[in-house]
Structure 1
Amino acid sequence: MADLEKIPFCPTQASFGASFGDGSVSTALDGGASRYRAGPDNQSDTVNASWVLRAENYSMFMGFFRKMRRLGGGPFLIDLSLQSHEMIEYTAYFVPRTLHLVSRQGAVYTVSAQLEVLSRDDFDQEDLDYWGRLVTLLIIYGNLPAAKEILDLLAKLVNEDLPHD
């Protein structure tokens, strides 16, 4: 895929919400609990986001949106705090017909949209998921500092101490 455009604005934290594509499927059963199983990998997440923009930033945001629309809806890059506490770059699309001008107060515009955000391998693949591994070690070692220390020692062992060709 060619280099993607990056949206130059981050959604406001107070109006940010997500529905996660969790990768599981349930089947309702008569007379009892549902049956759950693993579903397809790499499911996308749905994010409801709002931006509070002033004057020219509103015009630039709308210009970005129109550019994505002319390209068939995207994709584009956006920094989100979605699967982790850290801001991480994701690939996203504007969901059609969800961009709304919520309010305008003087030169301050509030815009909302729904985004389809693609999953990232570093969260979906078990061997790349740092926080998933940390949870496993937390169960074994009993507390977060001990689990982090073990994970750091393992990383040092694999990346520094073992001979490399």
Structure 2
Amino acid sequence: MNRMKYCVTQSGYSAKLGDGVVSQALDGGTSRYRQALKNVPHAVNVQWVVKEGGYQYLMAFYRVWRRKPNQPFLAKLIIDDASAEEYKCFFKTSPTLSEKNGKIFTVTAQLEVMPALENKDMDDLLVEFGNQSDEDLFDLANPLEKLVNVDLPNALENLDA
């Protein structure tokens, strides 16, 4: 399986999560919702900003994929978690040269991305934490940040006096 060399830029990046939820409008009330499908792919709009060699690579990568379009490729994306993870992808639309500014090429495309495996226990834990606490999850998960940037300087201030 081929692996995309370049990471996408953060600007020009959006993802519509495939949820598989179907709704039916009802007269005089709220809609009825149910999960109808599982493992529905995500639609991700991506953008790369590269130099000439990068542009040649992206076009070659697409042409190689196009020869066997039923074969996914790997790309690092941010979808299901806050950090980049590798996903199996397909080109939903062919790459588009959106802008060329001097020696800089901006290429956009839409990818169809297979969802990552869900960790239901972790999801339940995160939502339960959110229900019971006003703290940001980052503050709880990264106590070293507070220790180094707040507690330590405050402690050193007292030593100077």
Alignment RMSD (CA, Å):
2.3
- Choose which of 46, 51, 70 in structure 1 pairs with 2:48: 51
Residue identity matched to 1:133? L
Structure 2 gap ranges (5+)? 142-161
Q: Kindly name which structure, 1 or 2, has the bigger radius of gyration based on alpha carbons.
A: 2
Give the deviation of 1:119 after TM superposition.
0.8
- For residue 53 of structure 2, give the secondary structure of its aligned residue in structure 1: helix
Q: TM-score, normalization: structure 2?
A: 0.77
Taking the TM superposition and a 5 Å limit, the aligned residue runs for 1:13-162 are 13-72=10-69, 74-96=71-93, 98-121=94-117, 123=118, 125-127=119-121, 130-140=122-132, 143=135, 144=137
Give the deviation of 1:82 after TM superposition.
0.9
- For residue 14 of structure 1, give the secondary structure of its aligned residue in structure 2: coil
Q: TM-score, normalization: structure 1?
A: 0.75
- For residue 46 of structure 2, give the secondary structure of its aligned residue in structure 1: strand
Query: Greater shift after overlay, 85-94 or 136-145?
Result: 136-145
Residue identity matched to 1:9? Y
Count the aligned residue pairs.
Answer: 141
Query: Greater shift after overlay, 109-118 or 71-80?
Result: 71-80
Q: Distance in 2 between matches of 1:66 and 1:24?
A: 34
- For residue 86 of structure 1, give the secondary structure of its aligned residue in structure 2: coil
- For residue 18 of structure 2, give the secondary structure of its aligned residue in structure 1: coil
- For residue 13 of structure 1, give the secondary structure of its aligned residue in structure 2: coil
Give the deviation of 1:73 after TM superposition.
5.1
Give the deviation of 1:48 after TM superposition.
0.5
Residue identity matched to 1:45? H
**1:50-104, Cα deviation, whole Å (9 max, x unpaired):** 11110111101111110000122541001011111111111110014x4211111
Percent of residue pairs bearing the same amino acid type: 35
Residue identity matched to 1:100? T
